[in-house]
Chain A
């Protein structure tokens, strides 16, 4: 088993876990989920499970220590006079901060060693070479445990929430282990907060007919997105990105648009399988996508695409950095000079830079990811600076910003910026990204545009177009708050099963598998 799209997962691992979960007594159901989660992890990452266990133990001990310190402080405060309370509170704050920093560093050290050590050593060697220092570090690269980037963020979020008193520390280490390693989530998120999913994970729900139907329905939709759209587009994307120099700018555009659609189909499809899997157990995971291509601007796009990652960066980096004491001092001075609107933008910009640099690096150790982050930092900051001017200009020109045409133009502009961003994201090196960008804006010749050179035939193109329209219509209905699943559930049984059957058949017939196709590897699982 290597991913959620492995047939072994959907037809053996998941049904067996559901079966055992259904027959085990309510109070032990969470143990079944924990065992399944560890089995899932071991099947993919084998002995690297030891790092997951070490991470869980560190988070557990850290959180319990924080709670103990809170209780100690509380009992001591009740016996003290008012003026003695403040220094004691400060003393405990320092103690708690030490625990928090130690636990975070311990977990980040794993992440760094697995993910960034090679990048760091390679670039240090380049720098030493530039400075004519005759020394070279030996490059070491470890194989990373699955989902380390996801569970590390979720674990840090939990310990920070406990530190801030926003989550209670879990007494039962097995329950905490389940929260941190729940198998549908561990590989690609969504990165959940403890208060969001924990009680549902531990409750031990009944497996109902409705949950089974809704869960598998969603899983099927995920398979459709991945196998019919993403795996088919993968051929085109690979060819264009690997040989862009042999193609015209128009073909490069085709590759870039294809990649953006592929990434959406692959990642949102994975989320459908993930959320659908959890739904079967009666567990509601947070949504990670909300029709991103309907966003008005790039800043909004990132609140609709990989929602849980954006929320994590907002809660644990953006606000803590921008509202830290030194930043607040800067804001106070800046407001006097730049006014109430633009003054706070300075601390906002510093925090935004931190968010997007980390966001880029989180996706991978490479310069393309760093540039991808900086690109979004610049776009979002400029958007915010310009917002006031745009509102004024529209007022002067009598343009209604809620007007449909204006909204569509906004979405087109936003999508254009998304394409460029995803091109940088996918390019193997910055040189390739630069080369492709140049082609896309300077070479409009029609050479090598024939489908055969792009690895597709007319049938593939029709399937992709129909598939994308299908996803677009479903997204449009969702955007209009129409609950399609509930509507389908109300239809007579023969219509429902005809729909399921059609979806299954479309995956079997139109799925891009077998000779000539190369399925997309789970993209986000590698981050």
Chain B
């Protein structure tokens, strides 16, 4: 989780990732930033994020993104 927050802060430093729960709906992460994020997550955590999983519900908070990573690691 710490590593994930590190990646997020590098991409978009103006957000408190511990509390923010509308990263996508609040437009803190736009489509191009999500693309960078997906690419970094795939490298760092050795997972492959299918395009169908790229929905606001999975990316609206650091916690949700982390849950997605854990789910993909289990699969």
Contacts and interface: CB of A to CB of B under 8 A. Distances in A.
Interface of A: 164-166, 296, 299-300, 303, 314-315, 318-320, 322-323, 328, 331-332, 335, 340-341, 343-345, 347-348, 351-352, 380, 384, 391, 401
A166 B35 contact: no
A314 B27 contact: no
Name the 7 nearest CB pairs between A and B, nearest first: A319-B51, A344-B36, A344-B39, A384-B32, A348-B32, A164-B52, A348-B35
Interface in B1-53: 7, 10-11, 13-14, 27, 30-33, 35-36, 38-40, 43, 49, 51-52
Interface of B: 7, 10-11, 13-14, 27, 30-33, 35-36, 38-40, 43, 49, 51-52, 54
B43 to A, nearest CB: 8
A340 B52 contact: no
B10 A320 contact: no
B35 A300 contact: no
A335 B42 CA distance: 13
B14 A401 contact: yes
B6 to A, nearest CB: 11
B40 A340 contact: yes
Contacts of B35: 319, 322-323, 344-345, 347-348, 351
18 contacts: A166-B52, A300-B27, A303-B27, A319-B35, A319-B51, A320-B51, A323-B51, A332-B39, A340-B10, A340-B40, A341-B10, A341-B11, A341-B36, A344-B38, A345-B35, A348-B35, A351-B35, A391-B13
A345 B33 CA distance: 9
Interface of B is mostly: helix
Nearest to A380: B32
B69 to A, nearest CB: 16
Contacts, number: 62
Nearest to A321: B51
Contacts of A341: 10-11, 36
A345 B32 contact: yes
B30 A299 contact: yes
A36 to B, nearest CB: 32
Contacts of B39: 328, 331-332, 335, 340, 343-344
Contacts of A320: 51
A318 B31 contact: yes
Most central of A340, A384, A391 by chain B CB within 10 Å: A340
Contacts of A164: 52
Contacts of B52: 164-166
Nearest to A304: B27
A348 B31 CA distance: 8
Nearest to B54: A319
Given A164-B52, A166-B52, A323 B13 contact: no
A315 B33 CA distance: 15
Nearest to A340: B40
A195 to B, nearest CB: 11
Most central of B30, B32, B43 by chain A CB within 10 Å: B32
A166 B51 CA distance: 11
A318 B10 CA distance: 23
Nearest to A349: B32
